[in-house]
Amino acid sequence: MNFAYDEDQRLLRETTRRFLEERHPLAALRPNLETDTTLDRAVWRDGAQLGWTAMLAPAENDGGSVSEQPIVDLIALAEELGRVLYPGPFLAANVVADTLARCGDEAQRKDWLAPLARGERIAAWCASGDGSADASAIAVTATPAGGGLRLDGHARWVHDAHAADFLLVACRAPQGETLALVPMPASGVGVRVLKGLDLTRRFCEVTFSGVQVPSDALLGAPGSAAPALARMANVASVIQAGEAVGAMERLFELTVQHAKDRVQFGRAIGSFQAIKHRLADLWIELEGARAAAHYAALALADELRDREQAVATAGCYVREAASQLAGESLQIHGGVGFTWEYDVHLFLRRAKADQVLYGDPSWHAERLCRLLEAEVKEV
Amino acid sequence: MDVRVPEVPASYDDYRRRVREFVEAHKPELRMKEKAGLRVPDDPEDVAKLRAWVRALNDAGFASPAHSETKLDPYQARVLNEELGRAGVSVVLGNPLVGGAIKLFGTDQQKAFYLPRIASGEHIWTQLFSEPAAGSDLASLQTRGRLDGDGYVVDGQKVWSTWAQFSDYGYLLARTENKPGPAGITAFILDMKSPGVTTRPLREITGTTDFNEVFLDKVRIPVENVIGQPGQGWAVTTASLAQERGGVGSRGAEDSIAGLIRIARATKRAGRPAIEDGAVRQAIARFAARSRIQRALGYRVATKAAAKELGPADAPLTKIWFSELNLEINEYALSLQGPNGALAEGDPLAWQDGRFQDAFLYARAWTIAGGSNEIMRNLIAERGLGLPREARG
């Protein structure tokens, strides 16, 4: 029984934490809160050297993980990135890397995956028309044309598409769901940065208007992508949970410290039971969220029998808890929590945006209910 | 990370078969119904049958691994726990927490005399801690012990003592020194047949009797029945209570979740099965998620325990998570049944003869007993997070 990070994963976390403290602490977000881009390419490239984009890629494509459970390595990283509300496309890069590693042919892995794993090229994931991970929400149509496909439609909530070197697009061909690679910039592709609640990251609307995709830029045959889409939703959900747990952990530390430091009525406010019990509840939610995220990562890494339930559990619990924790933390901070200058609102904004992206909690809950029904026999 | 439990090797099949046959041959037929939680029979004949059953298990080397001295390898312990669990009958009688106190603080004579008799079911124990005026604030207890020659004379009143009406011994806390709070409290072994001990069963909201009041009037306890040193009682208690809190809720609530799904299939809402109602589906899934997380929190505790890294907030976390989820699931099970949720045991229309109604009422035992959840939150905040203590009178 070992439900904790192993030695190498702990080391990975420490290295990442030191790197981020030096190169991208929370304070580094400040100058870019209201600008069009929050991504620092130099930090991204150096982060890639620490394994940020390599865990799910095979060694021959310049990938490699620290343990036999690369998805667990990934959430160890995700927690550290979440602690500083790191703005870059860590989730999308790994979802795309995983998909290329599993579905790409040799040439595609060499041309698209290897530079992604090395941090030289940035990938954006066009999952759906509404930011969910549900295949029914795909809003890009693929029409056979010139031996390949022609893409028309749109994808929304695409992380850092404005900075991307290529897109992985989920689209609907006559044969069914299909995955296509589009190098950027490309004729017929439009990118608009969305103005979002979350000030730390930039999401985009990507429009496709007669975009030509040659057949060698399709992952597998047209119509064969359904299993890949399901896998992508799972990987995204686990990474997202890891980032959320990291952010919860950091904000909770700040809040406990505030409760110890802030004096009213001649006493630290953390000595009042109204605050104390709230903090105890938040700690319970944090530990619950961490356990859910870790188990989902483990279940996916080891392909455990209950992995779908494990991912759905993390999907419907973790981000709701994160949002709850962020709101309560702001409340405990009192008036200063309402100021632009304090970081609490950055965590709150991140948590609220995260809650609805790539499959909202109610979508995961419905999925969990279906899985349970299949398990419970009639009376 | 790895939380997979290795399969029990086929070489243990024979051991499993022997335990199962033994259980089938000796399992008592009781008059008490299987109910939620830790329940006490109200029929003395049931108690006699249970004593015989626990003794038979012990003689055969099949006593509950957590409380026996029999040396088992981990696979044997697992097989034994699984097979005893299948029996659905108690395998430990009374409150066995005193075992931990005696193991940690007892004299060699106490260990040699009491521990094997707890395992064999010969001795049933009750816990004499809480008092009418000392619940959450246990350290304010007022039962007094006055040293008089080779013994103590004890006066006071205890409450919430499970099994006291059938117990041979009591694990008693009394104030032996004139100091307030935790200092000056001593832990005793009390022979429940001593003159001056009166036990009065309490009927609870469930309609059943699991707890008792115990009155102590000039009860003499010999000095050799002190556990640990005089005045050390608080340390003795803290050690055994931590075990109690950590022990609950390390599994999920899978059975109750399956129960909710079955109720939702069988109950109609606006002419359709409730299971087709989105709000119902969302609620059941949220409970299932928390149940699954409860299991993962169990892995967390087991991992920390193995590394000797358990902190003062860990047992309170497990206790709050389990008891509040359990309460909410049972509350929901009643509302999910519609008007039939207001039926109870004995009515032919009641779902599974009122199983969820009983569990709903009993659920409050878990949120209050063993340190109320409010006390648990104080422990998390003060000992776990290092927040300042609040002013106490």
A312 touches chain B (CB under 8 A): yes
- Distances B329 to A378, B296, B333, B377 between C-alpha atoms, Å: 20, 18, 6, 21
Q: Which amino acid is at B171?
A: Y
From the list A271, A291, A364, the residue facing B293 with the nearest CB is: A291
* Fold observed for domain A7-121: Butyryl-Coa Dehydrogenase, subunit A; domain 1 (1.10.540)
Q: What is the ipTM of this complex?
A: 0.97
pLDDT of res. B244? 58
CB contact under 8 A, A317 and B290: yes
CB contact under 8 A, B284 and A369: yes
**Dihedral sign, CA of A243, A244, A250, A251?**
positive
- Among candidate residues B21, B244, B276, B324, the one labeled active-site is B244
pLDDT of res. B391? 67
B265 interaction partners in chain A (CB closer than 8 Å): 378-379
Residues of chain A with pLDDT under 70: 379
**Radius of gyration from C-alpha coordinates of chain A:** 21
Element (H, E) at B24: helix B13-26
Please give the Cα distance from B211 to B110 (Å, whole number).
Answer: 26
From the list B261, B282, B378, the residue facing A373 with the nearest CB is: B261
pLDDT of res. B92? 87
pLDDT of res. B386? 98
**Beta strand pairing call for B169-175 and B125-128:** parallel
| Chain A CA closest to residue B257 | A372
Please give the Cα distance from B242 to B97 (Å, whole number).
Answer: 10
Q: Which of B254, B292, B390 to mutate to test the interface with A (most CBs of A within 10 A)?
A: B292
Omega of the bond prior to A185 within 30 degrees of 0, cis? yes
- List helix spans (H) across chain A: 7-23, 41-49, 70-83, 90-103, 106-108, 114-117, 226-261, 273-301, 307-333, 344-356, 361-375
- Which pTM value belongs to this model? 0.94
Tell whether the model's pLDDT for residue B57 goes beyond 80. yes
- Structure tokens that stand for B293 in this block: 């997380």
- Structure tokens that stand for B184 in this block: 């000056």
A68 touches chain B (CB under 8 A): no
Residue A209 sits at φ, ψ, to 5 deg, of -140, 95
Coil, strand or helix at B129: coil
pLDDT (tens digit per residue) in B67-115: 777 789 989 999 999 999 888 888 889 988 899 899 999 999 999 999 9
Please give the Cα distance from B156 to B141 (Å, whole number).
Answer: 9
| Chain A CA closest to residue B320 | A284
Task: Give B2→chain A minimum CA distance, Å.
Answer: 5
B261 interaction partners in chain A (CB closer than 8 Å): 372-373, 376
Element (H, E) at A142: strand A140-145
**Radius of gyration from C-alpha coordinates of chain B:** 22
- Distances B308 to A15, B203, B302 between C-alpha atoms, Å: 26, 41, 10
Looking at residues B348-376, what average pLDDT do you find? 95
Task: Give A270→chain B minimum CA distance, Å.
Answer: 6
CB contact under 8 A, B385 and A365: no
Who contacts B117 (Cβ-Cβ below 8 Å, separation ≥6)? Answer: B123
Task: Give A190→chain B minimum CA distance, Å.
Answer: 38
Mean pLDDT of chain B: 93
pLDDT of res. A377? 84
pLDDT band of residue B393 (cuts 50, 70, 90) is low
Looking at residues B10-24, what average pLDDT do you find? 96
pLDDT of res. B34? 82
Active site residue B244: yes
| Chain A CA closest to residue B388 | A271
| Segments of chain B assigned to CATH 1.20.140.10 | 250-384
pLDDT of res. B39? 87
A368 interaction partners in chain B (CB closer than 8 Å): 285, 288-289
Query: To which residue do tokens 């208007």 refer?
Result: A209
A270 touches chain B (CB under 8 A): yes
Comparing CA positions, the residue from A90, A346, A344 lying closest to residue A196 is A346
Domain boundaries, chain A: 7-121, 124-217, 226-378
CB contact under 8 A, A284 and B293: no
Query: What residues pair up with B173 in beta bridges, in sequence order?
Result: B187
| Chain B CA closest to residue A301 | B1
Task: Give A10→chain B minimum CA distance, Å.
Answer: 12
- Structure tokens that stand for B109 in this block: 């004579």
Task: Give B307→chain A minimum CA distance, Å.
Answer: 10
**Dihedral sign, CA of B186, B38, B299, B66?**
positive
**Beta strand pairing call for A123-126 and A176-183:** unpaired
pLDDT (tens digit per residue) in B126-150: 999 999 999 988 999 999 999 999 9
| Chain B CA closest to residue A315 | B289
pLDDT of res. B242? 63
Strand extents, DSSP E, A262-373: 263-264, 267-268
From the list A3, A259, A301, the residue facing B387 with the nearest CB is: A259
Is the domain A124-217 a CATH 2.40.110.10 member?
yes
CATH homologous superfamily for the domain B125-230: Butyryl-CoA Dehydrogenase, subunit A, domain 2 (2.40.110.10)
Task: Give A266→chain B minimum CA distance, Å.
Answer: 12
CATH homologous superfamily for the domain B250-384: Butyryl-CoA Dehydrogenase, subunit A, domain 3 (1.20.140.10)
Pick the CATH number of A226-378 from 1.20.140.10, 1.10.1240.10, 3.40.50.720, 3.50.50.60: 1.20.140.10
pLDDT (tens digit per residue) in A102-149: 999 999 999 999 999 999 999 999 999 999 989 999 999 999 998 999
pLDDT of res. B238? 85
A7 touches chain B (CB under 8 A): no
A302 interaction partners in chain B (CB closer than 8 Å): 2, 4
pLDDT of res. B245? 53
CB contact under 8 A, B292 and A369: no
| Chain A CA closest to residue B4 | A1
pLDDT (tens digit per residue) in B26-48: 999 999 888 888 789 989 999 99
CB contact under 8 A, A373 and B275: yes
pLDDT of res. B327? 98
CB contact under 8 A, B261 and A376: yes
CB contact under 8 A, B296 and A295: yes
Please give the Cα distance from A367 to A127 (Å, whole number).
Answer: 18
CB A181 within 8 A of CB A112: yes
